[in-house]
Each structure stands twice: as C-alpha cells, then as structure tokens.
Amino acid sequence: MSADAYAVKATAGWRRYLRWNTDHKVIGVQYLVTTFVFFFIGGLLAMLVRSELARPGTDILAGQQFNRVVTNHGSLMIFLWIIPVFAGFANFMLPLMIGARDMAFPRLNAASYWTFLAGGVVMVASFFVGAAETGWTAYVPLSIRAPDGQTVWAVSVIIIGASSTMGGINFITTTLTMRAEGMSFWRLPLFVWSMLATSLLVVIATPVLTASLILVALDRLVGTAFFDVAAGGSPILFQNLFWFYSHPAVYIMILPGMGIISEIFPVFSRKPIFGYKMIALSSMAIAVLGMTVWGHHMFSSGMDPRYRVPYMVTSMIIAVPTGVKIFSWLATIWDGKLRFTTAMLFALGFISMFLIGGITGIFLASIPFDIHVHDTYFVVAHLHFVLFGGSVSAAYAGLYYWFPKITGRMLDENFGKGHFILNFIGANLTYLPMFLAGALGMPRRVADYAPEFARLNQLATLGAAILGVSSVPMLYNIVVSWVKGPVAEANPWQARTLEWQTSSPPQDQNFDVPPVITHDPYDYGVAGPAADRPQSASAAAD
C-alpha cells in the first residue's frame, strides 16, 4: 500500500524536478531525464549523418554543414549523454548502495547538475551562431580558424567539465566517508567501485581538457601564440593536452557501464559474481593505466616516433584487466539460473558488442595497423562498438534494471524486448560494415566518398534507421510506464544490494535508521543461512 502512495507522490511532485533541490534522488532524475533528451538530439544528428552518407555525393548536407553535424553529434553524445548519464545513475544509486542518506555535499551536487544543464544549453546554443565544425576533437589550427560557434563550443565544454569535476569530488568523498556500518570496501557493490575509479579519472584528467580549451579560446579571442606555428606554437601540444583527458574519458564512459553489468549478471543468474575482488581491482587498474595511453591517438601526428612504442605497450596492457572482467562475467553467468529480463538481455548484448569493440581496440594499439586505419571508418566502428554497443547497452540495462526503484513503476517487458532486438540488430548492421569500409580506406568525417564504399554505407544507413526506430518502443515505454505503469514493489528483482531494501522510490533520507551491513552483495543461490538474504539484515524491506 505504501508503495502505491509513493508512486502517486512521485508523479504529483514532478515540479520539484524543475527547481533547485539538494536531494540526490531528485538530482539523479534531473540528470537522467536531461541526458536522455541530449541523447535524442545527438541521435537525430546521427540520423542526419547517415542520411547524407546513404549515397555517395553530397546530397543533403554540404561540407561545412556536414562537419558541424558530425562535430556536434560526437560532442553531445560524449559530453552531454554518456558521461553524465552514468553520473545520473550514480547520483541516485550510490548513496543508497552504501547505506547513506545523501551525498557528502548535497549543495555541490545540485550545483553540478545546474552547471551541467547550463553547459548543455550553451553547447546547443552554439548551433545557432554557426556550430563547431572541427570534429569533437577540435584540433588546432583548424579550431583556431573556425567561425565563432567554435568558441561557444569550447566554453560549453569548459562549463560541462567543471560540472563533471564537482561530481567526481562528491562521489569519491561520499564513498570514502559515508559508508554505513559494516560496509567495508570489500562489501561495496561493484557499481560503487566503478564510480570510484571513474571519479578518480574525472578529477585528475578533466582539468587538463579545461586548460587545453582555455588556450584555444585565448588564441581565438586575444591572439596568443600557443598554436600559431608561425610564431613558434605547437599543434601537437594541443593534441597532448586534449588526449590526456580524452583518452581517460573513454574509461569514464565505460567503467560505470561495466559496474552496472556487474550488478545485473549476479541478480539474473542467481549466482555470486565471479572474481569480485579482481573485478574491483581491475576497475582501478584500468583507471590508472588509462592515464598512460593517450599518445596512441597521436601515432600519425608527427610527434617524435620514438614515443610511439611505449604507448603501444601500455595500450595493449590495458586489455588485461578488461579481459579479466569479461572472463569474470562469463564465469558468473555460466551454469546460472538465467532470467532473460530486458536488463539481462542488454547486459548480454553488452558482452558481445563490447568484445568486438575491445578487441579491435587492441588492433588499433598496434602502431603499423593504426597508421593504416587512422582517421578511417575502422576507428568509427571501433568507437561505436565500445561506446554504443558497450556503454549505451549498459545504460539501457541500468534503465531497465533501476527504473522500478527510481519511479516506483515497472517498465513493460515486451516493449523492452522489442527495443533490445531492434537495438541489437540495428547496432551490428550499422557498425560492422564500417570496419570493412575503414580497412578498405574510407576516411571518417567526410560527406562524400568513393563509389566503391556505397554498398557498405547503405547497410550502415539501414542499420541506423533500425536504431532510430528502436528508440520508439523505448520512449513510449518510459513515458507511459512512468505515468501509469504497474506499481513496483521494493525489490522486484529479489536483489541483495541496499538500494533494493528501500521502497520504490525510496523515502526521504532513504533509510529509517542507518542500515548495518552484515553480508556480501552478491551471494545469490549460496546455500545455508546466508541464502538470498539482503546485504543488511537490519534494513527494512518494504
């Protein structure tokens, strides 16, 4: 009965999502809704790109327009969707998972959301003053000479970076200082470990991006000489500064997703996670190693060739902790009592697609191979397999898993499965042909291409159309279910982690009394007194 009351309250209180509110659950929803909106805008831009590329020749978008669409597709997806959507999930779930009543700095938390929104608005506003057109990587000297929208874009990224850093500081401090009694580090859910690793990267790497864009802005606005070759400036300096952040950024984009996968597999296999400590430590290893590989984006840049081999080595080593995770997940679901909920399907889809993306990443780490396919569609395929096949699948999995907890309603499983099938077919059809196109020489970021790539591009565009269609059941499901879906119980998945020991959605301040943690998070199907008990024996289930 009280779950019903909460469901009613959630919809009645929708106005609080439009105002400054320091409750981490409100801020989490603000982030999630806002990022999904940006996701759809970025998706529309992608549809535009694929429409143009359906046939050779520039039919819909002329060169500069195309460049702007491509640039902002990438920028939106990276800065306004994938990075912050996981901040949204973390905002909602992290305090619950550790048994805390909120984040360590609730006002800083609210500020980080509104800063994020402001940055997003500025980035979208740049469309109207002549958008950025250099690709999201904004290399100099092109980004110095590009029209005014480029400056607005740079400013927006600086603002978004500030928001991200605020969040990172908050997540680390919360995790270290606000764990409930008994929540030792080795009892933390793996999503929390992943957010810890992610936040370390955010705090260390983001400021360097800020510095790089400040230098770009200074060159553009006041005529400094940082990247003016005639005055002694260095374009490679920009690439070093840019990629020092932007490579760790890809781990910022995948680690939380991997954390979500680690949450989902044990629940829907009714088995403990395999290799809990190794997965936790691998997350930290990926974060640390991830800060040493940035030069692999610069193999063809003209930088001193002697620096290339160390980057190749570190880039290949990072496959090891990643592989540890994949094998641990496979061992988790092996011989399990699998329940193929939509969340589980997306988690399984994640494994296959991320694997393709990850392995092609090892190809790209090899200097000679990279020189051959640098700036071709091979790279586009790789990045979309890891980021769309990987991160977005994980975000979808998180959506289907946690929607009941966040909204107090259940999503429809049939629409969910429809979404999954269309998404899986669409993604593979879109991105697999791109590997071949790139290996055969089709460059990226071009509006026109040689006729020999036409068939592959048609396939990719068809796949993209399917992806576009796949968003319909998802959107319909989210909206209708949130308003009038079946009321969710506290623990519809019979999971053990603490967020499921609160009502759906959780009450104000999350817990009546601070929970005392007595068990590990993933002891599913373990025979004996600990069988399927929640993490906290004392936390009241609904």
Closer to other proteins by CB, 80 or 180: give it: 180
> Least Å distance between CB 196 and other proteins?
12
The residues with which 376 forms a beta bridge, in sequence order, are 443
Task: Classify residue 135 as left (phi > 0), alpha (psi -120 to 50) or beta.
Answer: left
Looking at the Cβ atoms of 64 and 173, the one nearer to other proteins is 173
Give the number of other CB atoms < 10 A from CB of residue 313. Answer: 12
Least distance CB 140 / other proteins (angstroms): 11
Residue 485's Cα: distance from chain center in Å?
Answer: 27
In the complex, minimum distance from the CB of residue 24 to other proteins, in angstroms, rounded to a whole number: 13
Report in angstroms how near the CB of residue 108 gets to other proteins at its nearest.
8
Amino acid at 56: P
Please say whether the dihedral angle defined by the alpha carbons of residues 86, 91, 94 and 96, taken in this order, is positive or negative: negative
Task: Specify the 3-state DSSP secondary structure of 506.
Answer: coil
Binding region for other proteins (CB under 8 A):
100-101, 104-105, 108, 165, 168-170, 172-173, 176-181, 183, 203-208, 210-212, 214-215, 218, 222-226, 231-234, 236-237, 240-241, 244, 291, 295, 303-304, 307, 513-514, 516, 538
What proportions of the chain, in percent to the nearest 5, are helix, strand and coil?
70, 0, 25
In the bound state with other proteins, the residue whose beta carbon lies nearer, of 242 and 402, is 242
| Identity of the residue, 65 or 234, whose beta carbon is nearer to other proteins in the bound complex | 234
229 burial via Cβ count (<10 Å: 0-12, 13-18, 19+): exposed
Which residues lie closer than 8 Å to 406 by C-beta, 6 or more apart? 25, 28, 29, 32, 92, 505
Q: What is the smallest separation between the CB atom of 366 and other proteins, expressed in angstroms?
A: 20
CB of 469: closest distance to other proteins in angstroms?
42
Given the complex with other proteins, which of 161 and 272 has the nearer CB atom? 161
- Alpha carbon of residue 373 to chain centroid: 25
| Min dist. Cβ of residue 313 to other proteins (A) | 14
Reduce the DSSP state of residue 483 to 3 states and report it.
Answer: helix
Map tokens 């009321």 to a residue: 487
Q: How far is the CB of 318 from other proteins (least distance, A)?
A: 17
- Residue 451 one-letter amino acid: P
DSSP string for 224-248: --TT-GGGT--HHHHHHHHHHHHHH
218 versus 439: smaller Cβ distance to other proteins: 218
Give 17 or 139: the residue with its C-beta nearer to other proteins.
139
Residues 6+ apart with CB under 8 A from 525: 270, 271, 272, 336, 337, 531, 532
Q: Which is nearer to other proteins, 193 or 524 (CB)?
A: 193
Closer residue to other proteins (CB): 247 or 496: 247
Q: How far is the CB of 351 from other proteins (least distance, A)?
A: 32
Contact 286, 111 (CB under 8 A): no
Quick one: which of 330, 333, 336, 321 has its CA closest to 280?
321
